[in-house]
Structure 1
Amino acid sequence: MADYDLEALSLGELKKMQKDVAKAIATFEDRQKAEARAKVEAFARDLGYSLPELFGTETKSTRAPAAAKYRHPENPSLTWSGRGRKPQWFVEALAAGKTASDLAIS
């Protein structure tokens, strides 16, 4: 390992070295994980399996967007599924005396 005289380095050189060390640490962890994964895959392959067969599929399932249940009375492009925070137009319509069923999409 190289022996550095840190006192002799400029601020720019020290900051570059700091950045290089952080990058080396991050890539070291990535290399360790890749090596471990390769070993596990090789072991599973020796037993006649693949990792997805042992641990399930690797694809992440995504939720389909919720269907709109409510529509703005004057601007039909504004909709709300009824999930999450109420949009401002919905709150204002309720404050103006409308009901949720008045804004429901039929």
Structure 2
Amino acid sequence: MSAEELTQLIEKATEKRQQKVEGAKQALIEEMETRAAQLGLSLEGLFGLRSGKPEPAPPRRRVRKDAGGTVPVKYRGPEEGQTWSGRGRMPKWLTELEAQGKHRQDYLARN
């Protein structure tokens, strides 16, 4: 067989396969409709399909209204620029001050 003949054969086989798949699909749909009707259901009711309407989007997680914002300073150190919000890892300056016997409450920011 030539390349041209093989190409035509492949195209015909692909077309025939598509016809077979469509026929099998239609037969399955008809069988399911019959079985659903025996139970008093429709395919739409059975599978939760909506006629012509798109399915609603799945629910999303709600975003907190304060998400992405900055957290106010809760502690201020003795030197300029030493601040901590009270979240996350304790800063080194506060760890060192507590090691010296000082109390964290002494460094609460006055807002």
Same fold (TM over 0.5): no
Of structures 1 and 2, the one with the larger relative CO (CA 8 A, separation 6+) is 1
Alignment TM-score, normalising by the size of structure 2 = 0.41
| Higher helix proportion | 1
Alignment TM-score, normalising by the size of structure 1 = 0.43
